Structure 1
Amino acid sequence: DEPTTALDVTTQAQILALIRRLQREKNMSVMFITHDFGVVAEIADRVIVMEKGAMVEQGVASDVLGNPSHPYTRRLIAAVPHMIENETKSRGDAPVVLEVQKLDKTYRPGIGFFSRSRIVHAVKQVSFEVRQGRTLGIVGESGSGKSSLGRVLLKLLDSDGGSILFDGKDIAALSASEFRPMRPHIQMIFQDPFASLNPRQTIAKILTVGPMAHGLSAREARAKALKLLRLVGLDEGAYDRFPHEFSGGQRQRIGIARALMMDPKVLVADEAVSALDVSIQAQILDLLANIQEEMKIAMIFITHDLRVASRICDEILVMNRGEVVESGPPWQIFRSPRHAYTQQLISAIPGKEWVPAA
C-alpha cells in the first residue's frame, strides 16, 4: 500500500526492483496500491483504477496506459509529471533577489571524544542566484544537503562560511535580532501539510497572527487572508474552520496562503508536493506557477524528483553530498546530463520509457 510514496526516486527504484526480484524468486503475487501511473508502468502486469470506491477501469497495464477509456484514468495519467525537455527562453534581465556565494554548512554528528573530529559537509561551497519571478530548483536525494541549504537560507540554521546577499545585505552575517525585520520577506512552504498547521488554531488565526505581529490591524489582516484564500482556490468559508477539516491538498493551499500573507520576495518550497497524490501535485504546481506569474515572487523549489522540477523550474541545481554537481535549465540537464549522479537520478525515474497517450 503506497510503499514508495514520498521516497527519493533512487530509493523508489531500489524498492521496485526488490519487489520484482522477490516476486520472481518466490513466484508470488503482488497487489501494488499506488496513485502514480509512472510506478504502474514500471511494475504492473494488470491494473485496476478506482474512483470513489468503485472500479472504473481494468485491463492489461500496457493497454490502460496506452489507451485509457475512462475520464478519471485519463486525468490520473495526465497528472503524472514527465520530464519537460522543451527549451525555455532566458529572462536574465530580471533583477537578482537572492545571491549566494560559497555557502558552507557543516555538522559534527554523534557524541564523545572521537566523534568531534568527524565533520559532515551538508552544504559545501554552494553558489547561485535567484531572480525576481523565476524559480530555481534544488534537486537531490536524501542526504544531498538540499534541505539543509533551505534552512540556512531561512536562517533556521547558521552557516559556517560564505555569504547570502538579500536586498544588498549579507544576511548570513546577521544575528537573529538583526534578521528579524527581514524574515517576513523570505517564507517557507513546508513538506508535510498535516504537521505544518497547528491543529488547535483556526485558519483565521494561522493566517493572521504573523501579519498582525508585524503591525497589520485585525481588519486588514482578515481582508488580506480572505483575498489570499480565494487566490489559492479555497472559499471564504475556510476562514473559520480548523485544519483537520481539510484534505492534504487543501492544507497545502492554506500553507501557501500563510506564506503569502507576509508579502515575501522569496518563497522556499521544501518538498512541498512530495506527500501529495500526483493529481493534487499537478494542481499545486499549477497554483504556484500562477501565483509566481501574478506576484513576481522568486522561488527556490527543493525536491528529489527531476520530473517535478522540470515542470516548474527555470533552472536546476543538482546536489550530491553537499555540493552542486551540475546546473542548467531543465531541458539541458535532461537532454545531456553531464554528471554521473544526474544520470543516476534520471535513470531511476519510474516509467521513464512510458510515453502517455495523447
Structure 2
Amino acid sequence: MTAPEPCFDIAHLGHVEMLTDRYEASLDFFTRVYGLKLSVEDETGAYLRAWDDYEFATLKLTRADTTGVGHIGYRAASPAALDRRVRAIEASGYKVIGWVAGDPSHGRAFRFEDPFGHVFEIYYDTVRYEAPDEADRAALKNTASAFTGAAPRRLDHLNLLSSDVAEFRRFMQTCLGARVTEYIELDNGRIGGCWFTVNNKTYDLACTEEHGGATARLHHVTYATDQREDILRAADIFLQNGVHIETGPHKHAIQGTFFLYVWEPAGNRVELANAGARLILAPDWQPVKWTQADRMKGQAWGLKTIESFHTHGTPPTSTG
C-alpha cells in the first residue's frame, strides 16, 4: 500500500452526531454515567463535550426513531483549506449534498456522502467553549473546563462499517486527504479494516467490514482518557449503573490502545480508550499490515475478539 503525501487540509475530527430512540435514557447515560458535559439542549437533542474538548460540542445526541450515526464533522485547517477540500470533493464523483447552515456548535458546513450512506461534513468556523460559571472554570488556563470525576478528556475517534473497506479508503484519501496508518488484509486479498488519520494522531477514524448486509451503520464512538486507571474506574462505574460491558478492559493489538466497550441504553456502542503517546511523526509513514493470522491471535494480550464485536452495529439488523 503506497502512502500518499500528507495533506493536512483537515485539522481534526470535530464531532459526531449520534441518533437515539431512547433519548432521555441516552442523555442520562452520557452525562451522569459516561461523564460528558451538556453544553446546551434544544428540541432536536443535546450538544455534549468532554472536559477538555475546546469546541462547544463534540457529540450531538439527536432524538430519532432509530439509532446509529447522523453525520460526522471534521474541522478544516483554515478557510483556504476548506475551499480546497470542497473543490476536491466536488470533483471526486462522490455524492455531494452541499452547504448547510451551522448549529449551536459551529458555522456553515459542506456536506457529502460516502458510497455506503454515511454523511460527512467539513467546516471551519466554530464556537469555542467558554465556562459559564466558576464551578466549570478550570484552574489552569490551558484547560478548557474543570476536570470532574472519571470523565473522558476528549473525542478521539469513531469506527464506521462498510461493505468495501478498500473503496472507503479511496473516499477518505480523496475527500479528506487522510492517510492510512494500519490496516488488515485478509487471506482472500480483501481489506478487512483501515485506520485513518488527518493529522499526527495515530487515527481519528476506522472503517471495518460490514457483516450485517446493511448500509450507513456505526460500529462505535470513542472518547479518550488520560490514563488506564480512568478506564478501570469507569468499568466499576458502568457495572454499578447496570451498563452492558461488551468487552475489556484490555489492550488492542492494532494501534495499541487500552480499551473498554459498552452499549449505551439505545444500543449504540461507545468506547473509552487510552491512546498513550503514539504519534505519527514520519511524513513517509508506511502503513502497518495485519494479516488474518495476526488477527486470529486476538488482542495484544491474547483476549479473543467476541462475536458481537463483528456483528453488532447500529441501527441493528436481523443479524446484529
What TM-score, normalized to structure 2? 0.30
Q: Which has the higher contact order (CA 8 A, sep 6+)?
A: 1
What TM-score, normalized to structure 1? 0.27
Higher strand share: 2
Higher helix share: 1
- The structure with the largest alpha-carbon Rg is 1
